[in-house]
Structure 1
Amino acid sequence: MKVVDLITWFEEWANPAWCESWDNCGWQIEPGVLQDAARVLVCLTPTLAVMQEAIAFKANLIFAHHPLIFNPPKSLCSGEAIAEMARLAFTHNIGVYSAHTNFDQVQDGTADVLAQILELQEVTPIVPTQAGLGYGRVGMLKPFVSLQELLTNIQNQLAPPNLIFSPVADLQQTISRVAVLGGSGASFISAVVKTNAQAYLTSDCKFHQFQESRDRGLILIDAGHYATERPACDRLVQKFNSLNLDWVQLSHKDEDFRQFLV
């Protein structure tokens, strides 16, 4: 399959026109690879380490969730990360494509994969955007579990380096309804409360957002940005594999950008 055909297939599933106005979805760098047989390295965040990995594997497309170019640069200077990414992309003929908020909304996107990992049932979007799609997912746990069992399952499934959750009186309380949203989801707390979810799995939550959640009767669970979005990248590799591409692999150079003292 050619790169152009792969992108056409993807955009029929997750149209970049669905991305938010502040976002930058779609081609970040296209150095003339559209007619080449697709050799794809999938990552969460396009970095120089990922670019070097793509060069080593002779990939011609880095397919990322996070945009390489988010705030338009005013200049490109040697030694700067984006400039070096662009230089290497054109030197080695490697395109960089990002699927961000459009990928968040779709079936098998970032939130949907989290819902599947937790085996939520009767799943619906937290904030619908169009028929059957939207941001986040909320659903039922069947059978119900204790909060301790839910936290243990999240730790086992996502392996976050640091799992943070709201202070609660009883870890044995029964949890039946859970909301999930990969990446930075604290701004959706009010919408989650309206879904009657008891617990909300997301990331990048601040001190007072934990306070807000507690005061509104919601158990906030922060597993980290990387841990909550990386599984969707793995699912994307599985989907690309079904298309019989020339080569596709999940990056081993993706980074969490955080380190915790044990």
Structure 2
Amino acid sequence: MKVADLINWFEAWAPPGWQETWDNCGWQIEPGVLDERARVLVCLTPTLAVMQEAIARQAQGISINLIFAHHPLIFSPLKAVTKGDPIGDMVRLSLAHGIGVYSGHTNFDQVADGTADVLAQLFDLQAASPVVPTQTGLGYGRVGNLPQPLSLQQLLAKIQTVLKPPDLMYSPQADLAQPLERIAVLGGSGASFLAAVAATNAQAYLTSDCKFHQFQEARDRGLILIDAGHYATERPACARLVEKFQQVGVEWVQLSDRDEDFRQFFGAK
């Protein structure tokens, strides 16, 4: 499968036109690789570490020509491309080594097997549906019922086992013995969806990047807010993307091992 064919397949499944107005999905850097056979490194965030990983693979004889990332490399219009600037260095290395950078972001968030849907599957949510529908059966977040009720303590333990976050935060005054049946999930920064989640009658909401007053708001809405971190809640969808690329015939595709969680917790095990 050529790079162009892979991108055409992805964009038919998750059209870039679905992205939010502030977003920048699609090609970030296209160094002339469209007609080459796709050899792909999938990552959450396109960083210099991931680019160096791709270059090292080339030196080992694996001619990687595409970094497929969830997060965009470029959000604001570039005014200059200079050595020593992280984006400038990414552009320079991309062109020098023939490694394109492509992003599927808020369009990928909405689809079946996208960021929210994969979380719903990992926690076996039954009859899961979008928290905020955007198309029929698709949209942001998922809400559904657990196969059997879990206490909050059990749910937190399951999140720790399944997602392996470095730390977990949850709403104040939550009762760890409280039985939970209906759960909402949204990978990445999802606290702005609190009102929509509360309207689904979810008892708990798993997402990330939650602020102090958003925990307060969740408590006031009678919703247990659980923050497992941006990386932990979105990385599983990147792994799923590798599987889907394999299924459509990509010759070589692998999940980056240089992807990073940019947070560290002192004293965390």
The match for 1:241 is 246
Alpha-carbon separation, structure 2, partners of 1:255 and 1:71? 22
SS of 2:213's equivalent? helix
Alpha-carbon separation, structure 2, partners of 1:126 and 1:222? 17
Q: Does 1:119 align with 2:86?
A: no
Alpha-carbon separation, structure 2, partners of 1:243 and 1:103? 17
Residues 174 and 224, structure 2, Cα contact 8 Å, conserved in 1: no
The match for 1:73 is 78
Letter in 1 for 2:6: L
Q: Does 1:168 align with 2:155?
A: no
Letter in 2 for 1:11: E
Letter in 1 for 2:118: V
SS of 2:214's equivalent? helix
Alpha-carbon separation, structure 2, partners of 1:201 and 1:216? 15
Cα distance per residue 1:45-64 (max 9 Å; x no partner): 00000001111122100000
Alpha-carbon separation, structure 2, partners of 1:81 and 1:134? 32
1:169 deviates by 4.5
1:246 deviates by 1.9
Cα distance per residue 1:224-250 (max 9 Å; x no partner): 000000000000001111123221000
Q: Which runs of 5+ in 2 are unaligned?
A: 59-63
Alpha-carbon separation, structure 1, partners of 2:21 and 2:176? 40
Could you say if the C-alpha distance between residues 169 and 199 of structure 1 is closer, same or farther in structure 2, counting changes exceeding 3 Å? closer
Alpha-carbon separation, structure 2, partners of 1:124 and 1:145? 20
Residues 25 and 72, structure 2, Cα contact 8 Å, conserved in 1: yes
Letter in 1 for 2:114: G
SS of 2:181's equivalent? strand
Cα distance per residue 1:180-199 (max 9 Å; x no partner): 00000010001000000000
1:72 deviates by 1.6
Q: Does 1:184 align with 2:189?
A: yes
Q: Give aligned-pair identity as a percent.
A: 71
Displaced runs of 4 or more, over 4 A: none
Alpha-carbon separation, structure 2, partners of 1:252 and 1:203? 22
Cα distance per residue 1:172-231 (max 9 Å; x no partner): 111000000000001000100000000000000001100010011000000000000000
Alpha-carbon separation, structure 1, partners of 2:200 and 2:224? 13
Alpha-carbon separation, structure 2, partners of 1:105 and 1:157? 22
SS of 1:125's equivalent? strand
Alpha-carbon separation, structure 1, partners of 2:126 and 2:115? 17
- 2:92 aligned to 87, 104, 107, which one? 87
The match for 2:61 is none
Alpha-carbon separation, structure 1, partners of 2:173 and 2:155? 14
The match for 2:66 is 61
Q: Which runs of 5+ in 1 are unaligned?
A: none
After TM superposition, the structure 1 = structure 2 runs for residues 108-257 of structure 1, keeping only pairs within 5 Å, are: 108-257=113-262
How many residue pairs are counted as aligned between the two chains?
Answer: 262
Residues 110 and 141, structure 2, Cα contact 8 Å, conserved in 1: yes
The match for 2:2 is 2
Alpha-carbon separation, structure 2, partners of 1:71 and 1:181? 25
Alpha-carbon separation, structure 2, partners of 1:136 and 1:198? 15
- Name the TM-score, length of structure 2 as normaliser: 0.96
- Name the TM-score, length of structure 1 as normaliser: 0.99
